[in-house]
Amino acid sequence: MGEKKLDLQPRLQALADWVRPGARLADVGTDHGYLPVWLRLHGVVEHAIASDLRPAPLDHARRSAAAYGASDIEFRLCDGLRGIAPEEADTVVVAGMGGENIAAILEASPWCMDGAHFLLLQPMSRDQQLRAWLPLHGGRVLRERLVEDKGTLYPILEVVGGAMPPATPAQCYGGFALSGDPLWGAYLEERITKLRRAAEGLRRSSSEEEQLRGAELEKLAEELCVRKGEWEHANCGGD
Ligand SMILES: C[S@@+](CC[C@H](N)C(=O)[O-])C[C@H]1O[C@@H](n2cnc3c(N)ncnc32)[C@H](O)[C@@H]1O
């Protein structure tokens, strides 16, 4: 068995590209297990723990490792990082979940912010909540990128324990370090559209509090619009 060729989809490949050679990996919420399998097959990591909250996805990961012939992967059924000891990994991937779920997993295991662990985080939604949470809980964003996969834009953040100033609302929605990313303009456009839609709904509310929140979101959309205009001017020759 084994020896099938594994091609990662762009979102997972972008994560794989940021894993340092020789790393000891924990892939939390591994599901199909393609990331640790690919990293082991290419000799990027020495050892990997593939973990999941549920038995069925973990079985899927086991089947992937067997089908592609990947060794030195441990499969662990556990909630977040609760079943993984700090010394077992130096690189933790938490990908393909909502930003609030990723933050809850990190919050339950504060050792991951000790400065000795690199965290690769890829929220599927509510990335603004994750960005707001990180500086308040000892996370310092080292770099950030966007990847397009089947027409959807996904952010990836590399984080290590350390200090950084609290995130501004514009950073929560537009990212900390994305202005050099060729996909930033498209990402901002998506965020602006979502913010305006939310603001419109809130402003129609009879609650004064919600109307105020709507006005705040509209202001934030305007701020992102200005940044997008400046970015396009700098990157697209001002068209
Ligand atoms: C959509 S899949 C993402 C799979 C893979 N990480 C990726 O990015 O393609 C999400 C996986 O996370 C698992 N999961 C959700 N919450 C979890 C938690 N608290 N701890 C461990 N796994 C979790 C789910 O069971 C599911 O298999």
**How far is 225 from 196, CA to CA, in rounded Å?**
11
Q: Are strands 45-52 and 118-125 parallel, antiparallel or unpaired?
A: unpaired
Q: Shortest CA distance to 72 belongs to which of 102, 49, 38?
A: 49
Mark out the alpha helices in 94-183 (DSSP H runs). 99-108, 127-136, 169-174
DSSP 6: -
- Are 50 and 56 within 8 A, CB to CB? no
Whole-structure pTM value: 0.96
| Strand ranges (E), the chain | 23-28, 45-52, 73-77, 91-98, 118-125, 139-149, 152-161
The Cα–Cα gap between 134 and 205 comes to: 31
List the residue whose alpha carbon is closest to atom 24 of ligand 1.
29
Q: Which residues contact 125 (CB under 8 A, 6 or more apart)?
A: 98, 99
Q: What is the largest CA-CA distance in the chain?
A: 64
Residue-wise pLDDT tens digits, 122-179: 999 999 999 999 999 999 999 999 999 999 999 999 999 999 999 999 999 999 999 9
Angstrom distance (rounded) from CA 18 to CA 92: 11
> What value does the mean pLDDT of the chain take?
96
Instruction: Give the model's pLDDT for residue 4.
Output: 81
Digit-coded pLDDT (tens) for 72-110: 999 999 999 999 999 999 999 999 999 999 999 999 999
Atom 3 in ligand 1: residue holding the nearest Cα: 96
Pairing type for strands 152-161 and 139-149 reads antiparallel
Provide the pLDDT for residue 3: 63
- Name residues contacting ligand 1 (CB within 6 A): 12, 28-31, 51-54, 57, 79-80, 95-97, 101, 105
Q: Cα(61) to centroid of ligand 1, in Å?
A: 11
Distance from Cα 68 to the centre of ligand 1, integer Å = 21
Closest atom, ligand 1, to C-alpha of 93? 6
Radius of gyration of the chain (CA): 19
Helices (H), 26-119: 34-41, 55-68, 99-108
- Please give the average per-residue pLDDT across 38-48, as a whole number: 97
Q: How far is CA 115 from the centre of its chain?
A: 18
Q: Which residues on neighbouring strands pair with residue 157, listed in sequence order?
A: 121, 144
Q: Provide φ and ψ at 210, rounded to 5°.
A: -70, -35
Q: How far is CA 33 from CA 2, 128, 181, 235, in A?
A: 15, 27, 28, 37
